[in-house]
Amino acid sequence: MLTPQAAQERAAALVDRARKAGADAADVVYLANSSESIQVRLGLLEDVERSENEHIGLRVFVGQASASIGSSDLGDAALEEMSVRAVAMARAAPEDQYAGLAPEDLLARELPQGLDMVDAAEPGPAQLREMALAAEDAARAVAGVTNSEGAGASSGRGVFALVTSHGFAGSYETTSHGLSASVIAGEGSGMQRDYAWRSARHMADLLAPAEIGAMAGERAVARLDPGRVTSGAMPVVFDPRVGGSLIGHLLGAISGSAIARRSSFLLDKAEAQLFDSAITVLDDPHRPRGPASRPFDGEGLATAPRALVEGGRLTGWLMESASARQLGQQPTGHASRGASGAPGVSASNVHLAAGALTPAQLMADIKDGIYVTELIGQGVNAVTGDYSRGASGFRIVNGEIAGPVAEFTIAGNLVDMFAALTPANDLEWYRALNVPTLRVDGMMIAGD
């Protein structure tokens, strides 16, 4: 795996080759990752994995036609062949009036500092194994846990570089650490499983292995002997580990490509009042140690913190250059890149701001409701916003969490759900998309 500077230089050399081969414009992305992971089960080492990969992707433009090609071979001969083949492919491709590099005047000229995305700690296999064993031991020590699906610890490093033919060159490095445990409680047909995990740029930001394990074990035991729920309309409270999916649907719906294709349930709501006026959703690509922080986007544009929802009102779309041209607007610095192909769109570190009430206060007036801890299936229509998913969790009775329940469906429409959403004050920061406990009134429950 190349260093960030060497990766940037290699990408620049490929851009030069493409221009010499006849491309009017070009950009190159370099992506590399190395990782090491340890998996244990029932106190024994089950799997050790070490992986390394690197890929370079070239996109060329000949007029308004474009083509992309990628390779894991970074040798001079391979890069020369890539350049010639990519230009030949572009000459045979249809024109796209919206294709092209990002506007030159919007390219990032000064990159933000202090993102702190690289950890000097490099745990070896022995340390990772100790962490995984400690997490599993703590989970298995919880009364009621009867078996284990295992625990794992991992550590990795990545490099990203982007160079364009119209003046951008940048690269950065990241590290990642992860820890997880998954266990089973109960016996026979009454068995239940659950898990806990954390990931972080810096190992010091992970929860202790014993805390991860205890959380997994307690969650599994709490799910034993689930009851059933009766059908009807009632308040639904989403645990933070599943509530983020609601904001994930929002992010997909405000993608410029979805708007340009007219395939979003928010198509005509560019600045609509979607939420209560107290709701704010923020995107911060410059958050120190953030899991999705980045100094520039996938087209070389500057990134900046932005309110996606402010005062409950949507502030607009997330756009890369192609969809921005199609919509007659400017790109927003949210382009994302894979190993090859045209840029997509993604947000960075997103959170829904915490409310004023504790989770207990949020539920205090609920006489009969549901607390959801797991969602099943993908029953969400991105075009209409219709929402229907299998779920499990707990009853809420007279404002208190009661026994576990399973095998029911929650349904509604995302526009109505956004309007009825109330956040608690228990926001935690460890995912790329973080939300507190969320309450949505008036959802339909399909049970017995």
Give the separation between CA 253 and CA 317, rounded to whole angstroms.
Answer: 9
Give the separation between CA 410 and CA 32, rounded to whole angstroms.
Answer: 41
Query: Hey, what's the torsion of the CAs at 389, 391, 397, 403, to 10 degrees?
Result: 170
Cα angle for residues 430, 377, 411 (degrees, 5° grid)? 95
Amino acid at 268: D
Give the separation between CA 343 and CA 102, rounded to whole angstroms.
Answer: 10
- 447 falls in which pLDDT band (50, 70, 90)? confident
- Match 């491309």 to its residue by tokens: 23
The predicted model scores a pTM of: 0.94
Average pLDDT, integer, range 107-128: 94
- 391 falls in which pLDDT band (50, 70, 90)? very high
Q: pLDDT value at position 256? A: 95
Q: Residues 343-362: pLDDT tens digits?
A: 999 999 999 999 999 999 99
Average pLDDT, integer, range 81-103: 95
Residue 314, domain member (yes or no): yes
> In this prediction, what percent of the chain has a pLDDT beyond 70?
100
Residue 185, domain member (yes or no): no
Residue 255, domain member (yes or no): yes
3-state SS string over the chain? CCCHHHHHHHHHHHHHHHHHHCCCEEEEEEEEEEEEEEEEECCEEEEEEEEEEEEEEEEEEECCEEEEEEECCCCHHHHHHHHHHHHHHHHHCCECCCCCCCCHHHECCCCCCCCCCCCCCCCCHHHHHHHHHHHHHHHHCCCCEEEEEEEEEEEEEEEEEEEECCCCEEEEEEEEEEEEEEEEECCHHHCEEEEEEEEECCHHHCCCHHHHHHHHHHHHHHCCCCECCCCEEEEEEECHHHHHHHHHHHHHHCEHHHHHCCCCCCCCCCCCECCCCCCCEEECCCCCCCCCCCCECCCCEECCCEEEEECCEECCCECCHHHHHHHCCCCCCCEECCCCCCCEECCCCEEECCCCECHHHHHCCCCEEEEEEEEECCCECCCCCEEEEEEEEEEEECCEEEEEEEEEEEEEEHHHHHHCEEEECCCCCCCCEECCCEEEEEEEEECC
- Match 């990032």 to its residue by tokens: 108
Q: pLDDT value at position 345? A: 96
Q: pLDDT value at position 253? A: 97
Task: Judge whether 350 and 291 are in contact, CB under 8 Å.
Answer: no
Residue 198, domain member (yes or no): no
Domain C-terminal end among 70, 88, 106: 106
- 413 falls in which pLDDT band (50, 70, 90)? very high
Q: pLDDT value at position 414? A: 97
Average pLDDT, integer, range 40-55: 96
Residue 17, domain member (yes or no): yes
Domain C-terminal end among 62, 89, 106: 106
Q: pLDDT value at position 339? A: 82
Q: Residues 392-403: pLDDT tens digits?
A: 999 999 999 999
Q: What is the mean pLDDT of the chain?
A: 96
Residue 40, domain member (yes or no): no
CATH code of the domain containing 72:
3.30.2290.10
Q: Residues 158-181: pLDDT tens digits?
A: 999 999 999 999 999 999 999 999
Task: Give the residue numbers spanning the domain of 365.
Answer: 226-448
350: CB partners within 8 A, 6+ apart: 247, 251, 281, 282, 283, 284, 292, 308, 432, 433, 434
Q: Which two tokens stand for residue 35?
A: 């990782």
The candidate with the shortest Cα–Cα distance to 340, out of 82, 74, 15, 68, is 68
Q: pLDDT value at position 28? A: 97
Domain count, the chain: 2
What are the phi and psi torsion angles at 232 (to 5°)? Answer: 150, 175
Task: Judge whether 41 and 181 are in contact, CB under 8 Å.
Answer: no
Q: pLDDT value at position 77? A: 94
Q: pLDDT value at position 340? A: 80
Residue 160, domain member (yes or no): no
Q: Residues 238-290: pLDDT tens digits?
A: 999 999 999 999 999 999 999 999 999 999 899 999 999 999 999 999 999 99
Residue 448 has pLDDT above 90, yes or no: no
Give the separation between CA 67 and CA 242, rounded to whole angstroms.
Answer: 39
Q: pLDDT value at position 26? A: 97
- Longest Cα–Cα distance in the chain: 73
Distance of CA 249 to the CA centre of its chain: 12
Q: Residues 183-238: pLDDT tens digits?
A: 999 999 899 999 999 999 999 999 999 999 999 999 999 999 999 999 999 999 99
What are the phi and psi torsion angles at 438 (to 5°)? Answer: -120, 135
Q: pLDDT value at position 386? A: 97
Q: pLDDT value at position 44? A: 97
Give the separation between CA 222 and CA 252, rounded to whole angstroms.
Answer: 33
Domain C-terminal end among 73, 106, 139: 106
Q: Residues 318-342: pLDDT tens digits?
A: 999 999 999 999 999 999 998 888 9
Residue 150, domain member (yes or no): no
CA distances in angstroms from 303 to 325, 334, 347, 430, listed in the order given: 19, 7, 10, 21
Q: Residues 289-322: pLDDT tens digits?
A: 999 999 999 999 999 999 999 999 999 999 999 9
Q: pLDDT value at position 378? A: 86
For residues 100 and 238, membership in a common domain is answered with no
Give the separation between CA 20 and CA 14, rounded to whole angstroms.
Answer: 10
Q: pLDDT value at position 185? A: 97
